[in-house]
Structure 1
Amino acid sequence: MSTPTANVQTNRNGRPHRQPRLAGLWPTLSTCALLCGTAPLFADEAAPTASDEDNTSATSERLDRLEEEKASLEEEQAELEDEKTSLEEEKADLEDEKTSLEEEKANLEDEKTSLEAAHARLKADKDSLKTERDQLEQETSRLETELEQMRESTEETEDQAASLQAKLEAVEAERADLRAQLEALTRKHADLEDQAAQVALLRRQLDESQTAVERAEARAEALREEIEQLKQQREDAARKHTAQLTASELRVREHKDRLGDVEARIQHLEQQLAERDAQIERLQAAEERHVQATQQLETQLAELRGRLTAPEGGSVTAEQARADARQQAETLARLIRAGKGVDNTQLRQQIRDIENALHRSQYLVARAEDARTVYRVRPGDSIGRISAIVYGDGGEWEQIFEANRHLLDNPDQVLPGFTLVIP
């Protein structure tokens, strides 16, 4: 007898679907009908049979089979009861699911209504966007034309940027060299300061020597006066005491001996004085060399500081650099006006020199104010075009104008050759 099996499919509530087990009952019911139908037949045929024991035995066997079928049917009935309970539960789940689907249907209808309204709005937006697309296509065509023009301008700008980059690298290299020179000069200045300390010590020694010489000279002068006095006394004694010649000669000899000693001491002091004078001359020569070297170093340091801004250890302030740039710009404008229509090589060289000087001053202004870079104006440039090249937006020209108010009184009067600070 076949036993029904559960299906693994699940309903929407997560419970497994189970097929009804009536299909499994068909063989059993047909077998029961067959057995029940054959019982009277055997009973009718019992009379003509030869042995009742055989009939009883066969009936017993059929009864046993029927008992087994009955037990099987009872099991099937129990299973059907379980299946009925499961189906009722599944029916309840389906009812819940139906309610949920009806609610979902109502929600979908509401959503359909809102979607239809949204569709109408989107259709209106589509028409608006179509109009806007036509306008954008026209704008795109115009921008493509401007882009082509900008590309041509960009190529020139890239060449100029490469040139400026090369110049910037050269300036950075020069700046590094100047810093190295400044460090070397600083070390040399420290050495000279040590030498100056030694010179000061030698000066003190010289002053002490001069004091000793002065004392020796005073003492020598006193001895000379004493000698003169002795000579005068000797002469007076010779005149007054001619008779006492022997005593006078002894005294003269004694004074001569003393005079010899004094003269020897005077010679020794004069020799020391000569040595001191020679030493003083050497010290003075060394001091003069030190002064000259110090002046040269100070001149070089001043030149270096004059080429560096205050934050970099130099002496150039932003105000000073702007003042220099203002003066150079006025000179350049005057020379440009004077050179219009004139073929003068010397004047052209003066214009180039003042352009370079203005470029250096503006570069110092840019470094002192931590600006982005500088830009040398070319023929055909305007402050708006320069803004478009540098910032990509010609409307940012006011930044450039404000950063160069020390040069420009009018943003429309920018002369070729001017160097502008780019903030």
Structure 2
Amino acid sequence: MPEPEPVTATEGAEPKLETETPRSQPTEEAGTEAAPEAPPHALEELQHRIQGMQGKLRESALARKSADQARMEAERRLAENMQALEALRAAHAKLEQRLSDCESVRSRLTEELQRRGAADRTLYQVRPGDNLAAISLHFYGRADQWRVIFEANRSLLDAPDRLTPGMTLVIP
């Protein structure tokens, strides 16, 4: 009988598989979990992502600081403008009162003229840029008669150069 052929380790026997202990499971020797080792390029990628996030956080903080400063500046300007508005309202009220006073004086002057029956007197409403010399020249043909107009309107005028547009003067 022929001799049987020798059997190799792969024939007839089950192959022996080498098993590695997974890195994330406890090893029998140490009894603790081993940390998975990441490839170097993965660590670099994570560090790069962390740096990117830190940069975005810095940008966000700067943007917030800038927005806070802009808000504070806007609030300051609003407060200043509110004060200016109140000052304008007060000035407006004073001007309305002054206009009312002027209209009252005009009415009294008109009544006074009618009562005196001064048909030879004229009323003149002051325009911007007017002065007593120009008004005198217009009515009398001579600029040097401004004193006559000033004296006739002494109750309205403190000084000859204090004409207010809109006021009514008596021209004697």
TM-score (norm 1): 0.21
Query: Which has more radius of gyration?
Result: 1
More helix by share: 1
TM-score (norm 2): 0.44
The higher-RCO structure (CA 8 Å, 6+ apart) is 2
